[in-house]
Homo-oligomer: A and B are copies of this chain.
Amino acid sequence: MLLLWKNVVAHLDDETREYIIQHRLQDRYVAIFLLSDNKASEVYVWLKAKKAKMLWLYADIKLGKERGKEEILEEIQRCNGDKNCVGVMVQLPLASHLWEYEMEIMNMIDPEKDIDGLGSLSFWLSAFGVNNFLGATPLASLKILEYYEMDDFVWKVVTIIWRSNLIGKPLTMELIKRGATVITCNSKTPNAILKQSLAMSHYIFSATGQKHLVCEKILSEETCTLYPESISLDQKVLVDIGRGSENGKTYGDMDREYFEDKVKGITPVPGGVGPVTVSCLFNNIIWDEVWWR
């Protein structure tokens, strides 16, 4: 079964819009810092501004790739303190002269407004179980599963391929929290171990950008019979968070054609996690009352 983005996005946007109405946040703004001239970043920021409008919010795009660190930190501080501002995000990558300040800039964002979830306190609050906040991309991969009611992790085994700060690590912490036995793999995971891990898993998340890393050679009914505690393909859910392109065609980490009719569920690339990410960014303005301060 293909787990497609469309209904998930509609559902999430409805939820966000409802929250906005209930809390009278119409016409408030989300501050989006675009501090580079990266073309892809410009497109993403534009998509986010469009989504903001759809949700009756306003996107205040803060430009200025030449600006110094201090000026940027001050402006983030102003957004933190402005009650008309419901979220702050900084589009990565930064212009090169700002690279060394990336952490400082990210950590300046008030956790209550850190809709992208890149600051330290956001990560820790969530990892340690104080709240359930997750950055937009890992959140998107779970929101799809929730929508299709394939998000029962207790007693289950999950393999996560790749250990990035943006996806692999927060996802590892989140799924540990949700009761899964989590296997986190990386480029130094021997092939045989990866094969065995995939065989024993109910859920597989992959975010390497390597074309069809998860394919028949490494995961099939046959490889599953090799290991005593295997889960058959038709019980497996595959979440593809990879994204690459070859000759103008976008592809993911998983060989969708091969798995599509065999597994319980698979998110395709394109058309799966990607488009849900922007909706999750805005869904993150929903901030439950917290007790920690």
- Give me the interface of A with B, judged by CB distance under 8 Å: 100, 103-104, 107, 120-121, 123-125, 127-130, 154-155, 157, 163, 165, 168-169, 172-173, 176-177, 179-186, 188-190, 192-193, 196-197, 200, 226-229, 291-293
A155, B228: Cβ atoms under 8 Å? Answer: no
Query: How far does the alpha carbon of A185 sit from the alpha carbon of B107 in the complex, in Å?
Result: 31
Kindly list chain B residues whose C-beta atoms are within 8 Å of the C-beta of A169. Answer: 127-128, 173, 176
B229, A291: Cβ atoms under 8 Å? Answer: no
Kindly list chain B residues whose C-beta atoms are within 8 Å of the C-beta of A293. Answer: 104
- Told that A193-B229, A227-B228 touch, could you supply 6 new A-B pairs with CB distance under 8 A? A123-B123, A157-B193, A172-B172, A173-B173, A181-B184, A181-B197
Kindly list chain B residues whose C-beta atoms are within 8 Å of the C-beta of A120. Answer: 120-121, 123-125, 128
6 contacts between A and B (CB under 8 A): A129-B165, A169-B176, A176-B184, A176-B186, A181-B193, A196-B229
Partner of A185, one of B124, B181, B193: B181
